[in-house]
Structure 1
Amino acid sequence: MPRNRLMNVFTLLAAFVLVSLAMGMVVAGLALPALGAAGKATTSSIKMFNDLPGDFQMNPLAQQSRILAADNTVIATPYNENRIVVPLSRIAPIMQKAQIAIEDERFYQHGGVDPRGLLRAVASNQLSSSGVQGASTLTQQYVKVALQDEALSSGDPSAAQQQVTQTGMAGYVRKLQQLKYAISLEQKYTKDQILDGYLNLVYYGDQVYGIEAAAQHYFSVPASQLTVAESALLAGVVNQPGTTDPVNNPKAAIARRNVVLQKMLDQGYITQKQFSDAVNTPIEKMLKVKDISSSCATSKYPYFCDYVTQWLRQQPALGATVKQREGALKSGGLTIKTSFNPKYAAVLDASIKAKVPVGNSAKVDAAGIIIQPGTGLILASGQNTKYSLKPGAGNTTVNYTTPSGGNGGVQIGSTAKAFAVITALENGYKIDSSINLPTYNGKAGNKGTIPVRVFTHSQFSDACGLGRGDPPWLVGNDVYVPPHLMSLSQALGESVNTAFATLGSGVGVCKIADTMTKVGLVQGAGKPLERVPSGIILGSNDVTPLTLANAYATVASGGKYCEPRPVSQILDSNNKAMPLKVSPCKQVMSKDVAAATTKVLQAVFDKNGTAENAGLAGGRPAAGKTGTTDNAVQTWFVGYTPSLVTAIWVGSISTNTHYLTDLRIGDTFYKGTIFGGTLAAPIWKTTMDTILKGQPIQQFPQPSDSMYDDPSHKNDPNWVNTGSIIEGKNMRSYSGYRSTNDGNSSSTNGDGSGND
C-alpha cells in the first residue's frame, strides 16, 4: 500500500477515534463500533484498531536496592537502573504540578487521549510523532516509556526501539497501540496513580530514573522537599534528558527550566513572585550533586560489600538461580540490613593500619574481623589494603577476612590448640590436669641444633595419626622448655608445642579433628581440614579469619555454634521480610565444657603467657590464643569477651616463605622473630579496649567443680595436679605443688606451632 494511502487510512482512523471518544462510543472493551455508513478504508481501520491489544497493567518498576549498615547508613546501592520508588504522597505537590504543566496541562480533564492535541496531529499528519504537535498525553507517555522499559528488562532492545519508532506504518501502529493502552490505563487507574507511576518511571538524565533518585542526585534532598525552581528544572529534563540534564548541559537545563516556570505561571500553579525568584536562581546555587554508584568498588566498605553480595547470591528467597538472585538484587528494590557496625569497623581498621600500614615496605599483610557470639553476625572487618584492581603496593580486591573472592585462608598456627583443650575436657580431662612434658630425643634444623621431640606411629595410633609408613613427626618449641609437669592452662598460656603433641596423642587426633569440624572449621572456602597431627594439633591447615573467629565464638557463646553471616534481615520492595537461608544455631558442646575451655584460654594473659601484655583495660575478663606458624610466616591472635570475638591476623597472604623476622614495619623495627603476641595481640587489645570502653564489664560463666580434679585448689596457681597426668596415651596420678625451678618460665616468648 503506498505511503500516502497508508497515512490517509490512519488519519481516517484517528479522526474516527476522536469522534468515538467525543460521543462516548469507545466502551469498556475499547472497541470502536462498525458503523454502517463507514467507508471501506474506515471499516478496515476500525477492525485494525479493534484487533490491537487493549489490556495494560502498571507493573512494578526496577529500582535500586540498598545494603545498609547496622546504623542504617548506606553501604551500597546495587542497581541496573538508579531508581527509588516512592508514593505520590512523598513527592512535593509543586513537583507534580510542574510535570503536568509542561507535559500535559489538561491531564485531569481527558481520559487518556487529549482530543485537542490529537486533532492537531491529525490535521498536520503528525499522528506518529512523539508529541511534536501535542498529541501525546502524560498517560500516553507513561505507556510508551513503560513498554520500552519492559522490553529492555526482558532483554529485547529491538522491541524497546520499536516503542519510539517515528515514521512509517510501524510508527502509526505504535501510536495507535499506545493510544488504546492509554485509554485502558485511564479506565483501570486513578489520575494520581498514573501520575505516581509516571514520576517514578521516567528518565531524568545523568543515569537517574524516577523523581526520588533525581532529587537526591541533583539536589541531595528527597522528592518531598523539592522547591519551585528545583521542580521546574527536573520537569524540564524529561522531554530530552540527554541534552537538558543540569550536570552535563547546565545552559540548556536553565533554558528549559524557565520554559516550565512560564507554563506554571500561565496555568496558575505559581505566583509572579515565585516565578521571578525561581528564574533568577543561578543553577550553581541549586545543584548539590550526590553520586550513587551501583558498584561495591566505590563503597566505603568495599570488601564487606563484596562479601554481602556473594552471600546474597546463595539466598533462595531472591530467586531459583544465581542469575535471578543477582537480578533481584539489582532491580528488586530490596533493603538488605547487615550487622556491620561502622564505629567498630573504624576502630578495627585504624588499629590494624597503625601497626601495619598500607603498602608497607616490609610487604606484611594484616586483617581482622569481629563477630557477635551466639548469633554468627559479622560486626566489622578491616585490612591494611586499598580496594583496587590497579597494580601497586597495598592494592587488592581480595577480602582477606572471609572465604570469598579468591581468599583460601592461611595457616592458623597455635590457635588450633584451643580445640585440643575442648576435646580433652570432653573426654574426661580436667582444667587442673597436667601434662608431663616429654624429653627431647632428637635434633632438627639445617645444622641439627634445634632440640625436638620425635613422635612416631606408636604414639598416634588412631586413623588421623601417623601411619606406619609415615616419617617421624619432629616437634620443637620456640625456646627450650625442659621436661617437667605442666598444667593444661600453663601449657596453653605458654603455647608449648611438645605439651600439645603429647596431649594430642593421648586424646586422639581424630577426636580433635571432629571438634574442629563441629565448630565450623574448614579450609579456605569449604575444603575439609587435613586430618593429620601437624594440621589438627599445631595448625598447619589454611583457614580464614572469619571461620576461625566464629569457631572461637562457639566457645564464647557457651558452646552454641551459629553459622556466620553478614545479613540480619532482607526486606522486599513492600518492606515485607524475606526468609533467610541460615542454619539454626545448635549446641555442639556443653556449657560446662565451654566455660572450662574459657578458663584455660584466660591463661594466655597470665605472667609468661604469650599475650601477657594484651590483657584488657580495667581487668575486663577475656580469653584467647596466639598463633605463630613455622618461621613466623603467619601470626594470629583470636580473643573474646562474653559479647565480642575478634580475630587478628598478621602475615603474608600469598607466600609461605616471607618470614616475619628482623623487619621494619612502618616506623618500627622488630628485631628477631615476630610472634602472635608481637603485633596481632596488641592490635586486638587496642581494638577491644576502644570498642568496649564505657560498656559494662561482663563476667564469663564459671565452670562447675566437676571440671576440676581438686576444686579446693582451683584458684591455686602452684598446684599442679591431684589426679591425672597426661603422658601421651598413658595417665598416672600425682598431687602436690609444682617446683619453683621447673623451667616453666623458659617459654616466655614462645608460641610457635611447629608445623613440621
Structure 2
Amino acid sequence: MHGPGRPRGFFSASTTRAEKARAVRGLGTLGGLAGFLVALMLLPAACTAGIGARDTADWFLTEPEGLSTAGVPQRSRVLSEDGRTIATFFYQNRVDVPLEKIAPVVRKAVLAIEDSRFYEHGAIDVQGTLRALASNVSSGEVTQGGSGITQQYVKNLLLTQADSTEEREAAKEISAARKIRELRYAIAIEKRFPKDEILRRYLNIAYYGDGAYGIEAASRHYFSKHASELDLAEATLLAGVIRYPYAYDPTQHAGAALQRRNVVLNRMAELGMIGYAEAEKTKKLPIELDIQNMRSGCVASEAPFFCDYVQREILANKVFGETVKEREELLKRGGLTIRTTLDRRAQKAARKAVLSYVPAKNSAHKAAAEAMVEPGTGEIKALVVGRELGPDEERGKTWINFAADAGHGSSIGMQAGSTFKAFTLAAALDEGMPFGSRLMAPEKYTPVGFRNCDGENVGDPTASLGNAADGEGGRSFSLVTGTQHSVNTYFLALQKEVGLCDTVKMAERLGMRQANGKPLEQFPSFTLGFNAVSPLRLAAAYAAFGARGEYCEPIAIKSITDASGEKLKVPPRKCEQVIDRGVADAVNHILSGVLTKGTARGMGLGRDAAGKTGTVDNFSAAWFAGYTPDLAAAVWVGDPRGGYKHPMTSLCLDGRCYGSVFGATIPAPIWQQSMLGALRGTDATSFHRPPSFYFSRGSGEDRVKVPDVRGMSLDEAVAKLRAAGFTARVGERVRSRRYERGTVAEMSPGPGSVEPGTTITLRVSSGPGRGGADDDEDRPPRPPTRPPGIPLPTNTPTLPPLPGDPAGQAPA
C-alpha cells in the first residue's frame, strides 16, 4: 500500500542510494521539477538565516518590483488601403488571439498534458508536481509537466522580455534562484489575472516549433487554418510540441511528434476529457500538415518596394521612437496594424505595365520604376521597381528602391531630362506670360547671362546646347508650341526670360529636391533636367498641377494602432497651396497638348490628362510624368549600371527592339497602360479652363485658316466654324443687299489665317435697307451715265502704242 499523498512509483524504502541518485540526476530533463523542489527546500533555509517564518511568507507573497506582462513580441502587419495584409514584420511569428478564438479541444489538450489541475490549485501545485515527478520517473520519459501553466507562462514571459544575452541566459539558467523568482512572479500573476486570462496568455506566448510562437501562428503555420478551427488530432499534436518544441517539431521529427501526440491523447482519455475509443481512433490517424510559411519583411510582399518605403519611414522617423533600435523594436515586436495608402489595383496595374515593357531579367540589364501619387492628398498609391527585392548580385533583383529618394530606398536618383521644363513653364505662367508669347529658338544656344539665387553668374560661354534629343529649333515658338515640341533652345531662352532663380524656386515650391536630399543645383541646363531626382518626387510635383496648385508631401502611412488597439502618432499630412489655381489651370491646358499634338501624342487616356516627356543626354535615360485631376505618375527607364556608359540606343528588350529611346518610346506607354488600369471604373474629373488673360495674345497654337461662312445660314456657319476648331458668337444684325435675310453677312475676323480657337463674331443679314454706308457698299455697281443723245460705245477702243512696242499693242 502507498501512504496518503505518495503517488504510485515514487521512491520506496527499498530503493537503493544509487537508484535515487540516478533518478535525481534525471530530473534535469524533467522540465525543471528538480529546481522546483530545491526552491521549496530553500524556504526553511531562509528562516534559519534569521528571517522569521511570517516574514518569509510575506516576502514570498509580496508582488516583486518590476513585474510587467507587457513586451511580448507580436508581429506587425502592413495593410493596403482596402485592409489586405501586404507584409508582416516580427522577431517572433506570433498572433495574439482571445480565448474564445481558440478551439476548446486545444485548451483541453494543453491542460491535460501540462497542468490538469490548473483550475484547482494556486500558483504552486505541490500535489501535481509530485504526481508528475512520479509518473515521469516510473515511465523513464517526460509524459507530464511539473511546472504549472502559470509558472510556464512566467518563464516564457521573462525570456521574451529579455533585451540582452545576459538577461536571456538568466531567464534560462537552471538554479534555485531563478525558480524562486519565477514562483514569486507566478503568485503575483495569479493575484492579478483570472485563470482563463492566464491560460489565454500562456497559449499565446508558448513556442510551438519551426518559428511559430503562440497557438494562432502555430495553427496557421502547420495547418493553414485558425486556432478556432483545429480538430482533436491537430490540437493534441500542438499541445504535445510545447514541452520540447525542437524535439517534437513535426516538420523535422514526425515520428517523435506522432508518439508525443498519442501520449496527449492517452492523458486526455485518462482524465475523461475524451473517450478511450475516440483516443484510439485518433491515434491511428497520420500527421497531415499543410505548411504555410510566414516570412518577415518585404521580400515576399506583393508590393515589395512600397513595403520597403513604409519600413524605412518607420525606422527613420523619430515620430516612432528616439533611436533606431526603439523604432525597430516597435515595428518587429509591437503588434502594430499599419494602414497605408497603397491602392492594390493601381499597384498591380503599374507593376504589370512596367514588367511588360522592361522585364525584370531582360538581357539588356535595363530597369524601370514608377510612382503614383494622388493629387490633393499626397497619398502614394503605387510604387514599383521592375525587379524583385533582393541581392543585386542576383539577376533581376535589387535592394535599391529606384522609385524613391535615398532616405527611403538607397537610390541617389536619376537625371530627369525634359520633365523639368514643366517648372520653367509654370514659372513663366506665374509671372503672367500669355500663351501666345513667342521667343526665338535658335539651332544652338550659348548659355550666358544666367544667375543663380545667390546672384552668381553661372553661364558658360564655351557651351553650345542644342535640340538633338527632344525637339527642333531655328524658328519662334509660343509657350504652347514650344512645350508641345519640347524645344530645348526655346526653354533655355524662356528660362533666361523668367530667370533661373525663379525657375528653381518654382520647382522647390513643388517639392523638388535631389534624391540625395540636397537642394537642387542651379545651372543654365536646369530646365533640361540635369538634377538627379526620384520618380516619387516628380510624381508628387506633377500631382500639384492636377490639384490646381496644391502641393502635398508624399505619404504612405494613414494610421497605426498597437496591439491593444491604441492609435499611435503618425507623420501628419502636409499640403499647401504653392501656386495660384489659375496658373495651375494654365499649366494643365498646355501640358494636355503634349498628349494630343506634342511629343507624346497618342498617349491619351480618354479623359482629361496632361504630361511631359523627358529624354536625358545621349539617351542615357528616359522619363514620362503625367497626371489627371485624380492621379499622377512618373516613370523612369534606364540602366542601373550607368546610363552614359550603357545608353538606350539600338535597344532590344526580350525580342522587342527600339532605335533610340525617347520619353515617348517606353516610359509614356508604361504610364498610359498603368494609368488606364489604375483609373478603370472611376469617374473622370475635368481640368478647369485657364483664366482668359492667358488668351490675350491668342491661343499660342500655330495659325490656321478660317473658313468663309458668309452667305450660309447661321446654324450652318456655326457648325462649320466649330468643326474647324473655332468658337462662334453672334453680333448685331446688319442690313445687306448682297446676302439674303437670315444668312451670315459679316464675320470678324474674316477669312484668313488666325490662331486656332479664335472666337469668330458673326453678323446676320436683316435684308436690304435704304440709305447708309452699308447700302452703298453692298449695292451692285450702277452703269455709267452719259448726256442724252450720245450713244454708248459698242466697240473696243484702240489705245495708243506704248513706247518701244512695235506691235502697237498694250501687254495682256
SS in 1 for 2:446: strand
Q: Is the 8 A contact 1:315 1:580 kept in 2?
A: no
Stretch moving more, 563-572 or 690-699 = 690-699
SS in 2 for 1:107: coil
What is aligned with 1:612?
601
What is aligned with 2:623?
636
Deviation per CA, 1:363-386: give whole Å up to 9, x if none. 322111111111111111223223
What is aligned with 1:383?
385
What is aligned with 1:443?
none
What is aligned with 2:110?
99
**How many angstroms apart in 1 are the aligned matches of 2:360 and 2:180?**
63
Deviation per CA, 1:510-535: give whole Å up to 9, x if none. 00100101111111131110111202
- The residue identity in structure 2 corresponding to 1:397 is W
Q: 2:569 aligns with which of 574, 579, 585?
A: 579
Q: Is the 8 A contact 2:427 2:498 kept in 1?
A: yes
SS in 2 for 1:200: helix
**How many angstroms apart in 2 are the aligned matches of 1:221 and 1:326?**
29
Deviation per CA, 1:300-338: give whole Å up to 9, x if none. 332222221111123334211121001100100011112
SS in 1 for 2:647: coil
Q: Is the 8 A contact 1:398 1:407 kept in 2?
A: yes
What is aligned with 1:73?
84
- The residue identity in structure 1 corresponding to 2:350 is L
**How many angstroms apart in 1 are the aligned matches of 2:130 and 2:677?**
74
- The residue identity in structure 1 corresponding to 2:291 is V
Cα drift, residue 125 of structure 1? 14
Stretch moving more, 340-349 or 556-565 = 340-349
Deviation per CA, 1:186-227: give whole Å up to 9, x if none. 122100111111111111111111111111111111212222
Distance 1:194 1:120, change over 3 A: same
Q: Is the 8 A contact 1:316 1:581 kept in 2?
A: no
What is aligned with 1:593?
583
Cα drift, residue 657 of structure 1? 3.1
Distance 1:99 1:642, change over 3 A: same
Deviation per CA, 1:320-359: give whole Å up to 9, x if none. 1121001100100011112222332222122122222223
SS in 2 for 1:66: strand
Deviation per CA, 1:696-735: give whole Å up to 9, x if none. 222112222233315xx55976379xxxxxxxxxxxxxx9
What is aligned with 2:614?
627
Deviation per CA, 1:418-475: give whole Å up to 9, x if none. 1111111111112x2322224x4xxxxxxxxxx4122322xx3564788277434422
What is aligned with 1:343?
345
Distance 1:257 1:12, change over 3 A: closer
Matched, 1:161 2:165: no
Matched, 1:669 2:664: no
SS in 1 for 2:560: strand
Q: 1:557 aligns with which of 526, 547, 552?
A: 547
Q: Is the 8 A contact 2:446 2:461 kept in 1?
A: no
Cα drift, residue 134 of structure 1? 5.3
**How many angstroms apart in 2 are the aligned matches of 1:291 and 1:664?**
38
**How many angstroms apart in 2 are the aligned matches of 1:319 and 1:462?**
39
What is aligned with 1:718?
703
Q: Is the 8 A contact 1:49 1:176 kept in 2?
A: no
SS in 1 for 2:89: coil
What is aligned with 2:489?
498
What is aligned with 1:456?
448
What is aligned with 1:334?
336
Once the two structures are superposed, the pairs formed by residues 29-40 of structure 1 within 5 Å of their partners are 40=48
RMSD over aligned CA atoms reads: 3.2
Q: 2:188 aligns with which of 184, 188, 197?
A: 184
Matched, 1:275 2:279: yes
Matched, 1:487 2:478: yes
Once the two structures are superposed, the pairs formed by residues 108-147 of structure 1 within 5 Å of their partners are 108-119=119-130, 135-147=146-158
Distance 1:708 1:116, change over 3 A: same
What is aligned with 2:678?
691
**How many angstroms apart in 2 are the aligned matches of 1:506 and 1:423?**
10
Stretch moving more, 297-306 or 646-655 = 297-306
If the length of structure 1 is used for normalisation, what is the TM-score? 0.82
SS in 2 for 1:452: coil
If the length of structure 2 is used for normalisation, what is the TM-score? 0.77
Stretch moving more, 209-218 or 382-391 = 382-391
**How many angstroms apart in 2 are the aligned matches of 1:372 and 1:9?**
62
Distance 1:9 1:553, change over 3 A: closer
Distance 1:150 1:436, change over 3 A: closer
Structure with more contact order per residue of length (Cα contacts < 8 Å, sep ≥ 6): 1
Identify unmatched segments of 5+ residues in structure 1: 18-31, 441-450, 721-734, 741-756
Cα drift, residue 277 of structure 1? 4.4
Q: 2:510 aligns with which of 519, 532, 538?
A: 519
SS in 2 for 1:77: strand
Q: Is the 8 A contact 1:243 1:249 kept in 2?
A: yes
What is aligned with 2:40?
14
SS in 2 for 1:649: strand
**How many angstroms apart in 1 are the aligned matches of 2:665 and 2:39?**
86
Q: Is the 8 A contact 1:334 1:573 kept in 2?
A: yes
**How many angstroms apart in 2 are the aligned matches of 1:661 and 1:383?**
22
Q: Is the 8 A contact 1:347 1:691 kept in 2?
A: yes
**How many angstroms apart in 2 are the aligned matches of 1:164 and 1:676?**
62
Once the two structures are superposed, the pairs formed by residues 463-482 of structure 1 within 5 Å of their partners are 463=453, 467=457, 470-478=460-468, 481-482=472-473
Distance 1:697 1:43, change over 3 A: closer
What is aligned with 1:29?
none
Q: Is the 8 A contact 2:114 2:144 kept in 1?
A: no
**How many angstroms apart in 2 are the aligned matches of 1:134 and 1:602?**
75
Compare CA radii of gyration and give the structure with the larger one.
2
Once the two structures are superposed, the pairs formed by residues 183-332 of structure 1 within 5 Å of their partners are 183-272=187-276, 274-284=278-288, 287-332=289-334
Q: Is the 8 A contact 2:250 2:257 kept in 1?
A: yes
- The residue identity in structure 1 corresponding to 2:571 is K
Q: 2:669 aligns with which of 648, 672, 682?
A: 682
Distance 1:164 1:464, change over 3 A: closer
Distance 1:217 1:119, change over 3 A: closer
**How many angstroms apart in 2 are the aligned matches of 1:133 and 1:544?**
61
Q: Is the 8 A contact 1:465 1:532 kept in 2?
A: no
Distance 1:463 1:71, change over 3 A: closer
Cα drift, residue 86 of structure 1? 1.5
Identity %: 38
Q: Is the 8 A contact 1:15 1:122 kept in 2?
A: no
SS in 1 for 2:650: strand
Matched, 1:547 2:537: yes
Cα drift, residue 669 of structure 1? 2.0
What is aligned with 1:704?
691
Stretch moving more, 471-480 or 60-69 = 471-480
Deviation per CA, 1:225-277: give whole Å up to 9, x if none. 22221111111111011110211111111111111122222223234554344
**How many angstroms apart in 1 are the aligned matches of 2:485 and 2:34?**
97
Matched, 1:434 2:437: yes
Cα drift, residue 543 of structure 1? 0.5
Stretch moving more, 341-350 or 598-607 = 341-350
**How many angstroms apart in 1 are the aligned matches of 2:133 and 2:229?**
41
Q: Is the 8 A contact 2:135 2:143 kept in 1?
A: no
**How many angstroms apart in 2 are the aligned matches of 1:368 and 1:302?**
13
SS in 2 for 1:89: helix
**How many angstroms apart in 1 are the aligned matches of 2:701 and 2:234?**
75
Matched, 1:645 2:632: yes
Cα drift, residue 123 of structure 1? 9.6
Distance 1:144 1:624, change over 3 A: same
Cα drift, residue 485 of structure 1? 3.6
SS in 1 for 2:177: helix
Distance 1:704 1:68, change over 3 A: same
Q: Is the 8 A contact 2:436 2:699 kept in 1?
A: no
**How many angstroms apart in 1 are the aligned matches of 2:176 and 2:45?**
21
